[in-house]
Every structure is written in structure tokens, then in C-alpha cells.
Chains A and B, each alone.
Chain A
Amino acid sequence: MKKILFIFSTFLLFCSFSSENTPNIKSGEKLVFAGSYNMSGLMTQLAQITMTTETVTTAKNTYLHLNCEAATYSKWDSFFKIRDLYESYVNPLTLKPSLYKRSIDEGGYTKKEKYVFKGNQINSTMKRKNKPETQKTFSVGGATQDVVSILYKLRTVDFSKYKVGQTKAFTIVFDESEIPVVVKFMGNETVSAGNLGKKECYKISIGAKTDALRGKDKNLIWLTADAKKIPALIKFSIPVGTGQLTLTSATGI
């Protein structure tokens, strides 16, 4: 169970990073990934990860709702059912988060988290299965992102201007603490990008000061080397093993 939680959390975590340009994230975008885990040297498909964007309007503001959900394939549901939901409501122009929510249900283990961003302060609420709800208020930097919005931020970075080996530092908030993240541009590679066909991509290595990620340059993300910068392939190495997410479908881009 924790493996799956780790994989999905790690996916969101290491997909993180920052921006330099005007965001090119459109409402109505839908990216579908097949999540695989390395079992005895063979990649076994376990779950589908779906990332969607949607405009949400309140009486005073407009937000971009970034939704990321993971669900095990039906053949696994009888053995180990996962239904995870990661959400972030961000400013459509700056991608600065206002509200982040995480709701996981993995083989019966449940956990709910909510972060409300009030300037440089976060009011967090956490509820684990069979445990009382806890609340906490903590300070973060002005550029701190949550694990969902940071993935979209990464897509606004202009990697075409980066030299191989060039790095950039970022900060994300995860499990009620700030985590420094370093992104390293590793060059261009062509990979399969689902319905988009074979695409030239920016290969980026993700390093975070957390136990969730293992190895140097073993957590990688390939973003299509175009204006959209769609994540085509993600490889991760975590304490309990390795896995990957491959893009199967990208629509509304």
C-alpha cells in the first residue's frame, strides 16, 4: 500500500519546478498516463493517472483547478484498490496556489490533507484513518508551490535556453514542510508521447532533499520540446523500487 502511495506522491513531488514565462496551461487540458512499477525487472502496469485543468469561478475571482487523480486498473481493484485525488486551485496567470487538497484511499488506508495559502502562511488540516484531525499553521516562502501546481510551473520554464547540466532551484511544500528541489536540464531526447507520436523532449533530472527520492539523476521527466511542454515520460526511483509513467493520451492542449 505504501509503495503505491509513495509512487504517486513521488510522481507529483518530483514533477515539480518553476517558471520563467507566461503560463501556457489551458483550461480543458487532459493528460492520461499509464503508471507502471518495476516488479522483478519487468514493468507491470498498475494504475491510470489523469491530470486535468478546469476554470473555476467564484464571486470575486477566477482560478485554474488542477486536478490529478490515480486509479488502479480494474484487474487490480479486487486485490488493491487505489483512488487518489490531488487538487490545486491556482491563479491562472501566475500559477500561485490558493488551495491544495489531497485525498487518498489506498487499499482501505485513507488520508486527507488541505492547505489553504494565505499569503506566506499555510493553514493545513490533516486527517488520517482512525486518527483525530490535526491542524497546523506554518510559514513558507513567497514562491513556494504545492506538488500539483509545481508540475504545471515546470512547463513554463524555457528549457530551450538552458545548457546541458544547468540547474535551477525551487521550493515546494509537501507533508507540511518546505522541500528544496533542484531541476537539472540533461539535454534533448526523442521519446514516445502517446497519441502525440514520437516527440523530441527536454530531459530533466529532479533532485529533492527528501527521503522520497533515491539516486542521482534517476528521477527524470521528459517534456515535449515545444511550447506545450507536455510530460511524455516520467521515471522515478524511490526507496521501495523504480517505476515510470508513460503518456497515453493528451487532449485539449
Chain B
Amino acid sequence: MRKILIITATIFCLLGIVFTILPMGTIAIIPIGLALLVAFLAFKKSDGKQQNFPKIVLFVTGICILLVIGKELFIKDEIAKDAGFEKTKIENKKEDKKELEALESDLE
């Protein structure tokens, strides 16, 4: 039972780390929360030195939670300035004007 809990906690912990790195927002809380819960159960089922690994998982997931909360609080959703995209838009406008003038000539 203890081994199953440790394996499950480790899987959720790894998922939590991946979700924390990715810009998944608060979705990361799901695997992290599950990792915390299962790691806590594994900790309770363990004795002495056996408690070390669940402690590590609890520590890592704790850090992940802090990172997720920090990212939510301090990193705002914004669009990066994209010079290439802006250039495309300006070029498009010039092309479009020519296209419209050609259309007007065709319709005459």
C-alpha cells in the first residue's frame, strides 16, 4: 500500500512540476493537490527513514504551489510586441488598397 502511494505521489508530483513550468495557470493545482494528498498519506503510512521520500515530495509540491500562486499574482496576461506581425499588417494594408482599386476598375 505504501509503495502504491509513493508511486502515485511521484507521478502526480512530476505532472505538477510539468504543469507549473507550462503556462497552464491554476490547472497545475490539480496534480499538485493530488500529489500533496497522496504524499501526506504515504508519509503517515511510513516510519522512520521511510518518511524521507514522502517529505521530499511534499516539499517539492509545496514549492510548486508557491510558484503557481506567484505566477498567477505577479505575471500578467499580455501580448508581446511582435515587429514581424506589425510589419505584415502594414504591408497588408498597402496591398489591400491596391486590390480594392483593381476591383473598382474591374467593376466599372
Residue A39 is within 8 A (CB to CB) of chain B in the complex: yes
The answer to whether A60 has its CB under 8 Å from any CB of chain B is yes
The residues of B that contact A87 with a CB separation of less than 8 Å are 92, 96
Chain B, Cβ-Cβ closest to A105:
B85
* B103 CB–A CB distance under 8 Å: yes
Q: Are A60 and B99 in contact (CB under 8 A)?
A: no
**Pair B77/A40 contact, Cβ less than 8 Å:** no
Using Cβ atoms and an 8 Å threshold, which residues of chain A touch B106?
A: 118
A119 partner residues in chain B, CB cutoff 8 A: 107
Q: Given the complex, which residues of B lie within 8 Å of A48, measured CB to CB?
A: 77, 79
Is A40 within 8 A of B92, CB to CB?
no
| Residue B97 interfacial (CB < 8 Å) | yes
Q: Does A2 contact B (CB under 8 A)?
A: no
Partner of A101, one of B82, B96, B103: B96
Secondary structure at the A interface, as helix, strand, loop or mixed, is strand
Once A44-B25, A73-B79, A103-B92 are accepted as A-B contacts, the answer to whether A116 and B99 lie under 8 Å apart by CB is: yes
What are some 22 contacts across the A-B interface (CB < 8 A)? A39-B24, A42-B27, A45-B25, A45-B77, A56-B96, A59-B101, A59-B104, A60-B101, A61-B100, A61-B104, A65-B93, A65-B96, A69-B89, A76-B23, A85-B88, A87-B92, A87-B96, A99-B103, A103-B88, A103-B92, A116-B99, A116-B103
Chain B residues with a Cβ under 8 A of chain A: 22-27, 30, 75, 77-80, 82, 85, 88-89, 92-93, 96-97, 99-101, 103-104, 106-107
